[in-house]
Every structure is written in C-alpha cells, then in structure tokens.
C-alpha cells in the first residue's frame, strides 16, 4: 500500500524501485504517512523508501499524507513534537 501511495502522490522517483527500510533502534525519523492499517503505519522517509512501525505505541490516530516526526528508543517509536510539524 505504501508503494502505491508514493507512486500516486508523486513522492517517488519513477525510475527507481521503492524499498522498505528497517526502522532505527534509536534516533529520529521524519516523513509522511504512506499507508496504515489497524496495527501498522508506513512512513515514507525519502523519495523511494519507507519504514513500517507499530501503530498502537504511537497513541494517536494519523492520516495518510500526514507529516510525522518519530523518535525511536530501543526500537520503539513515539511521536516527537507533533505540534511543531506544521512549520
């Protein structure tokens, strides 16, 4: 689903394949929600790559196309400064 969204929204480079990356164990990642289901969210982190994280630990509902800043600690993701993302 993430690949379809990224192609349709024009965020992917056509000539390059789209790859799923492993989320980091620590640090932060910023991107746009590219797909979601009840248990997982795919976040496009670059033109042709995305990561998949569990939805439940985030503690909020996100929309497709919404910009997210995620912080990782011991492999678990959390929302980082959600109010500052509109800038």
Q: Report pLDDT digits (tens) over 25-51.
A: 999 999 999 999 999 999 999 889 999
Its domain, for residue 10, covers 2-82
**What is the three-state SS of the chain?**
CHHHHHHHHCCCCCCCCCEEECCCCCEEEEEEEEEECCCEEEEEEECCEEEEEECHHHCCCCCCCCEEEEEEECCEEEECCHHHHHC
CATH assignment at residue 36: 2.40.50.140
- Which of 17, 75, 8 shows the shortest CA–CA distance to 50? 17
Structural domain includes residue 72? yes
Domain count, the chain: 1
Total residue length of the chain? 87
Tell me: the pLDDT tens digits for 57-87? 888 889 999 999 999 999 899 998 655 444 4
Quote the pLDDT of residue 47: 86
Quote the pLDDT of residue 81: 62
Structural domain includes residue 37? yes
> On the CB side of 43, how many CA atoms lie within 13 Å of its CA?
25
Structural domain includes residue 66? yes
Structural domain includes residue 54? yes
Quote the pLDDT of residue 87: 45
Structural domain includes residue 87? no
């Amino acid at each position: 689903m993430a690949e379809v969204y990224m192609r349709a929204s024009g965020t992917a480079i056509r000539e390059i394949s789209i790859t799923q990356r492993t989320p980091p164990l620590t640090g932060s990642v910023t991107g746009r929600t590219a797909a979601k289901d009840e248990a997982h969210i795919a976040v496009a982190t670059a033109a042709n790559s995305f990561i998949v994280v569990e939805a439940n630990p985030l503690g909020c509902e996100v929309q497709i196309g919404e910009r997210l800043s995620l912080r990782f600690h011991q492999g678990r993701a959390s929302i980082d400064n959600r109010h500052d993302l509109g800038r």
